[in-house]
Structure 1
Amino acid sequence: MPLVEPPLRSPYPTLDHVLRLARVYTNDAAQTLDGNLLALTQPYTLEYVNSAWHKLQDELAEAGAPRLEREVILPQVPIASALDPAVQVSVSYTGSNDGALLWPSPVLPQDLMEPMRLHERQAGMIGNFIPMKPAADGLPRVGQGQRLRWWDWKDDSLYFTGATQLNDLLLRYYAYLPDIPNDPKAQLGILRCQRAMGFYIAGEFAAARGSTAAADLMSKGDDAVQKMTIRIARVKQRLSRRRKPYGRVRGSASNY
């Protein structure tokens, strides 16, 4: 098998690349690809860029793009302040609450868009993490035990029924990528996103000027994102999945 040549540069598109496409889509590249109304020196251009960047990430998150998924361990969720079904423990972007007092840690990741799955284990132990259940209709009002068991996402915070011991959480979540800085060489950390970004930036620019082309440009951006999500779906379809059989399997003493 031949050796793979080391890459000469990163495969991610740059800010300069997507802005040049946006200028072409808005006819702002007639004199130069550096543009005029959409030049990076204009005070509003970077605002259009990051607005488009946020929209792209929202669309990809809706499609379950693994590029936006991350994991982190939240250590030592505070013990519930009282053994009372009315007490709830929470973790937010700024700290934690045991139902009575605020604690400086743990805190949610600052790039967290939305939690996906949570697992727990006793703090300080090296055992396996146990899956937790999302509370679809709010947390059950039950007494606290050793495990947190359920989680709820509301008011940009994770809420739990609380536990009688410190527990660590393994949190898998959708993450926002950092905003794009004012640097033509800045890389956008999503592969092959330049067409979608170019159309979205052009659409933001056109909408601000009341152009009738804005809706069409945004629609073309959506089409470009759809092609990206088709690739994501194809990768996921390659994963092997088998349905769990119903009832007792012949020759087995258990269904599990």
Structure 2
Amino acid sequence: MTINCKGKLVDLSTPKVMGVLNVTPDSFYDGGKYKDETSILKQVEQMLNEGATFIDVGAYSSRPNAEHVSEEEELNRILPIVQLILNEFPETLISIDTFRSEVAKQCMKTGAALINDISAGNLDENMLKTIAALQVPYIMMHMRGTPQTMQSLTEYDDLVKDILFYFSERIVAARDLGIIDVVIDPGFGFAKTLEQNFELLNKLELFKMIEKPLLVGVSRKSMIYKTLDTSAQDALNGTTVLNTIGLQKGASILRVHDVKEAVEAIKLVEALH
């Protein structure tokens, strides 16, 4: 199972790590932490040295009830960061966390490698056409509504069945436009209650039937720290536990804030096999 990033085939039969770099002031865990060039480059260098295959850059916070950010502001935040990273680390495979087609297009022109869309094309009617034109790997996540409304949209007839149907629809739409490399993300924490997040993790192996690489993003999320009655800052151990379960159930990519621990989890789970 491979995806083509800038002409380089990335083999996902061994799980890979995607390190998170939020350049938003209001991200739930690391908001405002990476404000200047030095801190950004230091964090990227650390993640690459620890074994990250991808660096996921986001300039629009998608945490519940996050403030809306204009397209212009998102571009102003993200383009200089992509340029900065590639100037210093030109081989970096940068993933762009955006649901806007224009942001995707501009970032690809600047040298990014793949797009990570929380809305699977539902928040911008031009997104799928843009991905098809760019011919880049596309991560499509399950979400309902927007980051501002999603937490009120948690009613499902059958959680896993509904999400599987959602992906089958979105994958057909992508395939019809000629999009080849698709990764699916079930969207832990997006339009799902605490209990639903654990139900999703418990049944995660069912997503193998889609026959697409699976991304798991549970890093320091509220399903961990609310269950443990702690905070995002103290949720690293819980993150590693759930990442390990995700790997055992078929995850191909772990999207994390803490790369070293995720890489170690992959090595240990691979040793079992």
TM over 0.5: no
Relative to its length, the structure with more helix (as a share) is: 2
Higher Cα radius of gyration: 1
| TM-score, scaled relative to structure 1 | 0.23
| TM-score, scaled relative to structure 2 | 0.22
